[in-house]
Amino acid sequence: MKRGRTGLKSQCQIFPSLGEWAKRPKWMTPAQDWGNLPHHVVLQIFQHLSLVDRARASSVCRCWNDVFHTPDLWRRFEFELNQPATSYLRSTHPDLIQQIIKKHAQHLQYVSFKVDSCTESAEAACDILSQLVNCTIKTLGLISTARPSFMDVSQAHFVSALTVVFVNSKSLSSIRIDDTPVDDPSLKVLVANNSDTLKLLKMSSCPHVSPAGILCVADQCHGLRELALNYHLLSDELLLALSSEKHVHLEHLRIDVVSENPGQTHFHTIKRSSWEALIRHSPKVNIVMYFFLYEEEFEPFFCEETPVTHLYFGRAVSKMMLGRIGLNCPRLVELVVCANGIEPLDEELIRIAERCKSLTAIGLGECEVTCSGFVEFVKMCGGRLTQLSIMEEVLIPDSSYNMEQIHSEVSKHLGRMWFPDMMPTW
Amino acid sequence: MALNSIHWFRKGLRLHDNPALREAVQGAATVRCVYFLDPWFAGSSNVGVNRWRFLLQCLEDLDASLRKLNSRLFVIRGQPANVFPRLFKEWKISRLTFEYDSEPFGKERDAAIKKLAMEAGVEVIVKISHTLYDLDKIIELNGGQPPLTYKRFQTLISRLDPPEMPVEMLTDTLMGRCVTPVSEDHGDKYGVPSLEELGFDTEGLPSAVWPGGETEALTRIERHLERKAWVANFERPRMNANSLLASPTGLSPYLRFGCLSCRLFYFKLTDLYRKVKKNSSPPLSLYGQLLWREFFYTAATNNPRFDKMEGNPICVRIPWDKNPEALAKWAEAKTGFPWIDAIMTQLRQEGWIHHLARHAVACFLTRGDLWISWEEGMKVFEELLLDADWSVNAGSWMWLSCSSFFQQFFHCYCPVGFGRRTDPNGDFIRRYLPVLRGFPAKFIYDPWNAPESVQAAAKCIIGVHYPKPMVHHAEASRLNIERMKQIYQQLSRYRGLGVFFSSKQEVLCDGITCSSLMSVTCSSSVQFYLYNSPLKLLYIQRFGDSGEEKPQSGKRVREGRLSERAVGLVEEDKGPRHEHNQRWCLSRV
């Protein structure tokens, strides 16, 4: 442990209590020092180490081992569950997992599970969940890092594991269960036990939940501030429930709109009055919509004024639709278009610049905009555009500007250096 | 004492603009040009038949050109480190010359050979001619780190002196008194092998679409420039269906093997531009193809793990899926997406695909659909793609998979839509996937949507004669964009609602550039993330956006949770809300 000594002076500046300890009497020999460090000193040091290093340090002596198991170091934990056949990343060591369940289940407050594509990993996560009985978990995240392997676990197994946490925690405030087989009954259990504390619920792509299930959550959990779900769960009743007097201001609503096959899903419309009620109740709410649809499926959207703030189009979106957005989305803050086509979008962009006065971020890929049109757009938006991410191929040089000139012209209007996103060509 | 020299060909397979070769000949009594054929071709044994054929054609061409100078090429089987000592003795060598190889593996190999040469009393002369610039100078100018954005790279380049002029082609006159002793059995001992001798079955092998060799390269460059002059337009040409096909003016494989000198290309482009545009200064974008290549060489030269995710300081760790079956389908053009399969078929058959086609298949494999590691894609390209060398291939794959270089990841290429927009009629598909010829343009990009009657008429039932699509694209891309967001949110702790992450471009400060700075501007704290920073950081100052020189505030950085990548957090406790336009300056204390 000699290397510790050389950095001692600088360490003292970061760890004041270490400074105190540094003034110890000279007769304390190096071998005795380290084992006798005060607990709080070791704790401070441990907080700066990675888990692996901490675990290693804990095998040095009993004192350090005790500190390793201090409840404070176990408030936050991320379980990584990977199989070598499906992932390049390592897993949390099974022994460590056992230790946590045995000694620290009751200390855990902020827990997440990261699993790879293998069903085994998701099942292991469920097994751990089922054992977290004496816990006071506040934050729970179930995250699949590749394919959604939680969907491959038997629904019964998943639901029973999840409800263990729902029932025992009683103070859950933030839950992320996207891409899982959670269902209406488990949401009822969640609500029955945590309605006072729930603030955040992310459950995009949970196919077993129905609009009634999520409505139950909105009705009972009046502290809910952030919600993420799929469009088929969105209803007028839900928006009204989120706008009821008892409900706090909603901060963030994320909606995923995903198609199954061309023309196979018909999307219902939300009444304008429901949107208006939501905005009246929560004027600052961010409404984020992610679209993964075929072009012909957009018909039901943006026919009337829609208070969306962040729009992402993961596939091609038509010129007409972009025109509608310019007309009907006055609160728009961010717009991302993955692909449009080969007709220039000048008119649509200019209308968006005119009507969407809060627009600060725009991203365009695989579209076409003439350079003059683009400069016009930037001029109209001016410095409020903090994020302007345009693929180089999008801009079509014309008689007024070529590619060199556009970069300086746009930079001028933005008030900072700007250039388009480039892709390697070789 | 007679001076006998060896010129060692590795890349740089040409006689024009070859300063190292000229050094070999200068004042020498004899010169022998050698090429080593060992299993370790460019650092890996993963090489397909098109690449071997191209290389052999290059060697044949070199041999033919050397014959005109009464010399020959010596092709030697074995590893340089094993063979050189024998050759030094046998041929009484006192000088060894070769072109500088900037790749980490190359530098290591060359260091070992230099040592051997020193021990044998052999003078070693190395010249830079595979890149436009001395890459170490670029790195030096950037504070010891390679630039990680292309724009930064361009800025640095514009501050350097222009590249050195290409040197003259080796001629009889330049050879002077220098000769090459050639034995009777030269062909047997040192001749260029054939594909068959290397173990390939050439029966039915179609002729090369890209014939190798310096002669071909020099013909092509003239054609390339003729076409540019005729068009009188140096803008990037618009993409159309024809661009997808191999062009007789395409130059990338020749640049890679060194059959064509990049400096020659650079100066010819400059001359042509000046002639056509009446002496105006050429923009940097004119040299796009060359500069991208240079950019990746620079990024890779000091990073032996450049082609890996683990342990690579500039590569983001993404939890890619391991899925050999899915990878095989992609590599063998059996994904069920005609656009992807046609591109991969062209790649395997001919050895070259258009760069937008590369984007499409790379995106599909990695962050778009299959979520498979870019390292796997890189290996497939290495095998099949003629112009893929280590630095450029790895760099491009990292770029296209958003693993490095600060790429915005929101944009995903659709395996149906992208192709359809590029070539609406579908001729490219029909050419490379003849089984789909009968499909009308309406369905050729998504034949699984065609009614049964159409499939029957096309004599191709999806699922029987051509595979069904291996993923549901909308679903896959939805999942994957979430994954990318998760990863980037962890990196910069940007609790963003949308999909952008902000990155402040590199900030120059007192010669120390922070080559990656991501700042979060939603609160009064700035979190930054340094890649590959050997310097412990230090001091951060905030300047206002009115361009003033004095900092508004400064703070010593408290180094928080340090991992192998330094992450620091600066908190301004009081003070005005952080504006987007402020510059942050980092310096050594």
| CATH at B443 | 1.10.579.10
Domain boundary among B130, B155, B188: B130
Cis peptide before B538 (omega within 30 of 0): yes
Residues A116, A79: Cα–Cα separation, whole Å: 12
Q: Do B499 and A315 touch (CB under 8 A)?
A: no
| Cβ within 8 Å of residue B480, ≥6 positions away | B367, B368, B369, B371, B412
Q: Identify whether B528 is part of a domain.
A: no
| Interchain CB contact of B293 with A (< 8 Å) | yes
CATH number at residue B73: 3.40.50.620
Neighbours of B37 (CB within 10 A): 17
Q: B571: helix, coil or strand?
A: strand
Whether the CA torsion B345, B349, B351, B354 is positive or negative: it is negative
| Cβ within 8 Å of residue B496, ≥6 positions away | B485, B489, B522
Same domain, B284 and B333: no
Residues B74, B191: Cα–Cα separation, whole Å: 7
Closest partner residue to B581 (CB to CB) among A87, A415, A419 is A415
Q: For residue A261, what pLDDT is reported?
A: 63
Set of chain B residues whose Cβ sits within 8 Å of the Cβ of A312:
410, 481, 498-499
Instruction: For chains A and B, count residue pairs whose Cβ atoms are closer than 8 Å.
Output: 168
Q: Do A404 and B355 touch (CB under 8 A)?
A: no
Q: Identify whether B384 is part of a domain.
A: yes
Instruction: Give, for B381, the enclosing helix (H) or strand (E).
Output: helix B374-384
Same domain, B24 and B94: yes
Mean pLDDT of A94-118: 92
Q: For residue B504, what pLDDT is reported?
A: 37
B145-181 CB burial, b ≥16 within 10 A, e <16: bbbbbbebbbbbbeeeeebbebbebbeeebbeebebe
Amino acid at B506: E
Set of chain B residues whose Cβ sits within 8 Å of the Cβ of A14:
558
169-188 of B, contacting A, C-beta below 8 A: none
pTM above 0.90, yes or no: no
Interface test with B, best of A52, A176, A255, A425 (most B CBs within 10 A): A425
Q: For residue A42, what pLDDT is reported?
A: 86
CB-CB contact of A356 with A385 (8 Å): no
Q: How many domains does chain B have?
A: 3
Closest partner residue to A258 (CB to CB) among B474, B505, B560 is B474
Closest partner residue to B561 (CB to CB) among A48, A363, A386 is A48
Q: Identify whether B571 is part of a domain.
A: no
To the nearest whole percent, how much of chain A has pLDDT over 90? Answer: 55
Same domain, B67 and B162: no
Same domain, B142 and B101: no
Closest partner residue to B150 (CB to CB) among A89, A143, A422 is A422
Confidence band (pLDDT; 50, 70, 90) for A229? very high
Q: What are the structure tokens assigned to B406, written together?
A: 């600060």
Phi and psi dihedrals of B26, rounded to 5? Answer: -55, 115
pLDDT digits (tens, 9 = 90+) for B402-437: 998 777 778 888 899 889 888 999 999 999 999 999
Closest partner residue to A312 (CB to CB) among B408, B475, B499 is B499
Q: Identify whether B545 is part of a domain.
A: no
Same domain, B145 and B290: yes
Q: Do A145 and B252 touch (CB under 8 A)?
A: no
To the nearest whole percent, how much of chain B has pLDDT over 70? Answer: 80
pLDDT digits (tens, 9 = 90+) for B523-557: 223 334 333 333 333 344 444 334 333 444 444 44
527-546 of B, contacting A, C-beta below 8 A: 545
CB-CB contact of B553 with B583 (8 Å): no
Q: Which residue segment(s) compose the domain that B65 sits in?
A: 1-130
Q: Identify whether B136 is part of a domain.
A: yes
326-385 of B, contacting A, C-beta below 8 A: 355, 359, 371, 373
| Interchain CB contact of B243 with A (< 8 Å) | no
| Interchain CB contact of B495 with A (< 8 Å) | no
Higher-pLDDT residue of A159, A265: A159
Q: For residue B557, what pLDDT is reported?
A: 43
Same domain, B333 and B296: no
Model confidence at A293: pLDDT above 70? yes
Q: Do B502 and A391 touch (CB under 8 A)?
A: no
Q: Identify whether B296 is part of a domain.
A: yes
pLDDT digits (tens, 9 = 90+) for A233-272: 999 999 999 999 999 999 999 999 988 666 666 788 999 9
What distance in Å separates residue B433's CA from the closest CA in chain A?
25
Same domain, B426 and B365: yes
Domain boundary among B76, B110, B130: B130
Which residue ranges of B are tagged as binding site for FAD?
289-296, 387-389
Same domain, B402 and B282: no
Same domain, B221 and B81: no
Q: Identify whether B144 is part of a domain.
A: yes
Same domain, B391 and B443: yes
What distance in Å separates residue A355's CA from the closest CA in chain B?
20
Set of chain B residues whose Cβ sits within 8 Å of the Cβ of A256:
478
| Interchain CB contact of B563 with A (< 8 Å) | yes
| Distance from chain centroid for Cα A261 | 27
Q: Identify whether B341 is part of a domain.
A: yes
Domain boundary among B474, B495, B526: B474
pLDDT digits (tens, 9 = 90+) for B26-69: 999 999 999 998 754 433 457 888 999 999 999 999 999 999 99
CATH number at residue B290: 1.25.40.80
Closest partner residue to A389 (CB to CB) among B321, B408, B561 is B408
Q: For residue B519, what pLDDT is reported?
A: 31
| Cβ within 8 Å of residue A59, ≥6 positions away | A65
Which residue ranges of B are tagged as binding site?
289-296, 387-389
Same domain, B149 and B294: yes
Burial class (CB in 10 A: 0-12, 13-18, 19+), A188: middle
**Ranges of chain B whose pLDDT falls below 50:** 40-44, 493-495, 501-589
Same domain, B125 and B140: no
